[in-house]
Structure 1
Amino acid sequence: MTLTDEILSSLHLADKTGAWGTLGTIKPQKNFEPELDVEKLHDVLTNKGNKQTVIDVITGLNNEQRQEVIRLYKEELQKDLLEDIKKAFSGDLERVIVGLLKTPAAYDAQELKAAMKGLGTDEATLSEILSSRSNEQLRAIQACYKQEFKTELEKDITSDTSEPYTSLLLTLLKGKRERESGIIDYGLIEQDFKTLSDLGPKKTTNDAQWITILTERPKGHLRRVFDVYKKSTSVDIEEAIKKNFKGDFQKSLLTLVAVIKDAPLYFADKLYNAMKGLGTDDKALIRILISRSEEDLLSIRVAYRRKYGKSLYSSIESDTKGDYRSTLLLLCRAEDI
């Protein structure tokens, strides 16, 4: 199947419920037989068989089906599949497989915790996750975080970051973005443009107003606000952010604007940067492929090919190796010619 066929197929299904309506590369397996999958996994993990069998099973299911396999594995064998995987796998391959076996919310909670663990903070990961998840996803992440780590995500963010970056992350975490109404409110567009462009008494911008507008307005509305900003001031919204803000707050605002403008392109850029030059940012590569595999990875592949003149598949193929490469390529799914 060509990339165009995949995109059109997914778009055709977009008005239907369930995972088939996504632009993800991973779809529900049509002839799902969890008992058979449990048997295959147990045989390989017990007898140290071919790891490719485990990879094929896990990447051949969507997350809901993987959760059913985990449940059945526990019920029939009185064993924890994740623990058995950890014993049999190691390194980046283990991280991918274990990540795929977690629910999306539990996986995001894990990545957020890791971003704040120990000395130093991975601000880019915090900004990426909180800027790109839906209101519903953010609520699920908070619940999983509290259950897994026995503390509030809000509390950890507050203790690990500083203002005004903290306020931006906490406001994003509340998941208050309005839904798209389908109605273009030209009055509100003009009002928001003026708010973003006005300087205060000390010739400075108002952090709180920027946070409110960028975290609560619908993304379609904000794209129109950005267009008006450019036409009226001859300055891109990104340039205004660079001029008026500093540090982690500036970087996070730029991430948020990039996601609002074009999320697939944002993730395509992140993937390219993870693999360019010497060395690979495997954490970012794994996180994005796992988290977008049932969301919009087909669209990310299109954006990647269009901007960089090569396919995401071929980039992964040349930048990784072994069973780890095999797993990532199965998540990517296909070459884009």
Structure 2
Amino acid sequence: MASVWDELDLLLDSPSSFTTTTGERGTIKDKAGFNAGEDAVALRKAIEGIGTTEKTLIDILTHRSSSQRQLICKAYQDATGRNLVDDLEGDTHGNFEDLLVALVTPPGLYDCQEVTRAMKGAGTTDSTLIEIFASRSNKQIKALSEAYLAETERKVTHDLKSEISGQYATALLALAEGNRDETTTVDTEKAKEDAKTLYDAGEKKWGTDESKFIDILCNRSIPQLRQTLVEYKNISGKTLQESIEGEMSGLLEELLVAIVKCVKNIPAYLAERLFKSMKGVGTDENTLNRIMVSRSEIDLLDIRAEFKKLFGYSLQSAIESDVGGSHGDCLKMICGGDD
């Protein structure tokens, strides 16, 4: 299971999901010959008819891109004077409703809502915060932050501060600023220097200087960090992930490991998250919905490939055996096929 995370040979030449342009490796693309007005009418009929025709809702919403769905929402509002989200909420229920609403929500707002949900109530769902902030590009974090400010009139970092603490908070807040360096050129000398700093701050030292790990992992560019991971293994003989797992504990460890995994391979990290969301007793539908929807136009094809590689069976078959009814049908449509 761990082996995928130890291989660094191909790392420097592999593409990264942080820089994927929308659509290349997604399962959902723009529909050709798209007509928002026609779709709005069909959705309205499906919702207003006797009993909702779930099949129509699924067919339309999983075969249009996110930007096309926004045009459908507008056409729906113009035609009915009502909000499509409200009508979906009034007419469907449970996890299926959550999934359809997620599909018609703009990506930045959806991330914002998921972060809000993770902070709500007793206790914080840190695994959600870690997944979102470790796997999103600056651009995605900016969109999330703008949506959050528009919804609450507060900065997301302001509200996060009251929910989290310690070095974990320092690291998560650094990510939530969305200011990671985006230089594409790699400075090999700097990577060697950073690798030595990390080695000296962890493996070589009695007690760990976490601040060095946070500073380097939360701020350097992805290509630079990839080079640093290679240099680290040369110096230390083990991977940075192994060192973090050996030196740290709790939420800071979880966050820094997630960052390292995302630097290497976001699709493999998210494939693991999907696997865990369906494994064992009860399904974590929130995580399942969130990853399937938020990656459907970015790298879901790659997530499918990594899932098969890691677990020996397809993502489609995992969903099939774990989720039933309209919710399962809709997820399978987003998944877009078997491997």
Report the TM-score when normalising by structure 1.
0.91
1:185 corresponds to 2:187: yes
Aligned partner of 1:121: which letter? T
Q: Distance in 2 between matches of 1:119 and 1:323?
A: 31
Q: Which runs of 5+ in 1 are unaligned?
A: 1-13
Q: Quote the Cα distance in structure 2 between the aligned partners of 1:290 and 1:202.
A: 43
Alignment map for 1:24-39 (pairs within 5 Å): 24-39=26-41
Which consecutive residues of structure 2, in runs of 5 or more, have no partner in the other structure? 1-16
- 1:233 partnered with 2:247: no
Partner amino acid, structure 2, of 1:51 = E
Equivalence map 1:282-293=2 (5 Å):
282-293=285-296
Mapped partners of 1:96, 1:299: distance in 2: 21
Deviation at 1:209, TM superposition (A): 2.2
Q: How many angstroms does 1:18 deviate by?
A: 7.1
Residues 60-87 of structure 1 show CA distances to partners (whole Å, capped at 9, x for unaligned) of 1110000001011111211111000001
CA–CA distance in structure 1, aligned partners of residues 80 and 186 of structure 2? 56
Instruction: Give the equivalent residue in structure 2 for 1:68.
Output: 71
Give the Cα separation in 2 of the matches to 1:188 and 1:256: 19
1:4-83 counterparts in 2 under 5 A? Answer: 19-20=22-23, 22-47=24-49, 48-83=51-86
Structure 1 position 245, deviation (Å): 2.2
Q: Contact conserved, 2:233 with 2:239, CA < 8 A, in 1?
A: yes
**Paired residues for 1:1-337 under 5 Å:** 19-20=22-23, 22-47=24-49, 48-181=51-184, 183-199=185-201, 203-336=206-339
Following the alignment from structure 1 to structure 2, what is the Cα–Cα distance between the partners of residues 141 and 149?
Answer: 12
Partners of 1:266 and 1:210 in 2: CA distance = 20
Q: CA deviation at 1:150?
A: 3.1
Greater length-normalized contact order (CA 8 Å, ≥ 6 residues apart) = 2
Query: How far off is 1:151 after superposition?
Result: 2.4
Q: Under a length normalisation based on structure 2, what TM-score does the superposition of the two structures give?
A: 0.90
**How far off is 1:244 after superposition?**
2.5
In structure 2, distance between residues paired with 1:202 and 1:45: 63
Counterpart residue identity of residue 245, structure 1: M
User: Counterparts of 1:38 and 1:199 in 2: how far apart (Å)?
Assistant: 58
Query: AA paired with 1:126?
Result: L
Compute the displacement of 1:19 (Å): 4.0
Residue-by-residue CA offset, 1:6-34 (whole Å, 9 max, x unaligned): xxxxxxxx9xx9744x2110100011011
Given that residues 19 and 28 in structure 1 are in contact (C-alpha distance below 8 angstroms), is that contact kept between their aligned partners in structure 2? no
Q: Secondary structure at the match of 1:160?
A: coil
The list of structure 1 runs, each at least 4 consecutive aligned residues, that deviate by more than 4 angstroms after superposition, is none
* Residues 19 and 27, structure 1, Cα contact 8 Å, conserved in 2: no
Aligned-residue offset at 1:242: 2.2
